[in-house]
Chain A
Amino acid sequence: MAAFTLKINGREHQIDVDPGTPLLWAIRDNVGLTGTKYGCGVAQCGACTVYVDGQTVRSCSLPVSAVGKSEVTTIEGLTSKEAVAVQKAWAAHDVPQCGYCQSGQVMSAAALLGLNPKPTDQDIDLAMNGNICRCATYVRIRAAIHSAAKSLEG
């Protein structure tokens, strides 16, 4: 076990874990933020997506010891204008089915719009294909991202 200070959503959290603990479990079990989900544990489903210094990261694929002083953002701390637009569009399109994958979907969608304000269908597929949805909400996800992009135009 070792002591780590994680900066998550602007707050510092002291935790004592094995250095090889995936960030996902530190976020969920040690910090108690359970919006970030576990789906596969092997960087294949996207349910555990967070931002590390603003960049999307699968939190199951990163050990706590590699986080250092980086700023972690989880779904609970997502406040960018893209995120707000995505959340509104998600509600308008009634995107979630069971909801399990959705925090990862929203994290990836907001990150996409931050980097590419007018994504094409192909851009969306390339950005989102690492986020698996067992309820197959893909068509609504794509439509909602287009709506969110439109709403951000002004």
Chain B
Amino acid sequence: MRVVGTGTLALLAGSLAAVAIAAYPGLRRADAAPEAVRMAAGLKPVTDFARIKNKDERAVALFEEAGKVLQSPRCMNCHPAGDRPTQTDKMLPHQPLVVRGEAGMGAPGGLACTTCHHEANFDAARVPGNPKWQLAPIEMAWQGRSLGQICAQIKDSKLNGGKTMAQLVHHMAEDELVGWGWNPGAGRTPAPGTQKQFGELIKAWADAGAACPKG
């Protein structure tokens, strides 16, 4: 962070920032995971599941592994059940207050996602970005849902944007906004594993019949 000159301006700027930070405890650096924890956790490879002979059991186990990604804060933060996204590993309410609006990009005339989030992460300002930055539609809300409920929702073409299973696999494995989860910028814990591994798990789950965890 850069400091402006000297004197009153710097004092004012400093206190403005201090007010912002005092008012929003979610902004404190301490909310971010410590560097050691931020290293991406791994995902088990698809081959680890081959020994599960029962197809449904294998599908469930594969989905539970993929669920480590789906339920990571990098994914969940933009799949809120309400109107406001969350942020940080603690999934605190997004600061400033933003709402989904009709297109998942902010209220009309209000704060649009693109006021702060641009085409790429900008680590100097600690602001993440991606060309597709937006909230998931409300029918794709994941927060507060069990993994089984998320699974059923993902499979349901009425709730997943009309995707077939093949399109769903492609989306998980290739979509660049999904891919942001593994390249989230400084100070954010990446989603576990890699997008490639995640895509393979989802594909293997689909190939095994796409059974969902109970509950």
Residues of A within 8 A of B (CB): 20, 22, 25, 37-47, 49, 55-58, 60-63, 66, 98, 100-101, 111-116, 119, 123, 125-127, 129-130, 132, 134
Contact = CB atoms under 8 A, between A and B. Distances in A.
Interface of B: 1-2, 4, 12-13, 15-17, 19-21, 23-24, 27, 95-99, 107-112, 114-120, 122, 124-127
A43 B16 contact: no
B112 A101 contact: no
Q: What are the 6 closest A-B residue pairs judged by CB atoms, nearest first?
A: A116-B109, A115-B109, A126-B110, A130-B96, A39-B16, A43-B116
Contacts of B98: 130
Contact of A42 (B12, B119, B120, B127): B127
17 contacts: A20-B124, A41-B1, A42-B1, A42-B127, A44-B20, A57-B115, A58-B116, A61-B116, A61-B118, A63-B124, A113-B109, A114-B109, A116-B108, A126-B97, A126-B99, A130-B111, A134-B15
A43 B133 CA distance: 16
Contacts of A40: 1, 16-17, 20-21
Contacts of A58: 115-116, 125, 127
Contacts of B24: 44
A38 B111 contact: no
B19 A132 contact: yes
Given A41-B17, A66-B119, A134-B16, A127 B125 contact: no
A108 to B, nearest CB: 8
A45 B16 contact: yes
Nearest to B96: A130
A49 to B, nearest CB: 8
A123 B115 contact: no
Contacts of A119: 109
Contacts of A38: 2, 4, 13
B118 A62 contact: yes
Contacts of A127: 107, 109-111
A132 B107 CA distance: 18
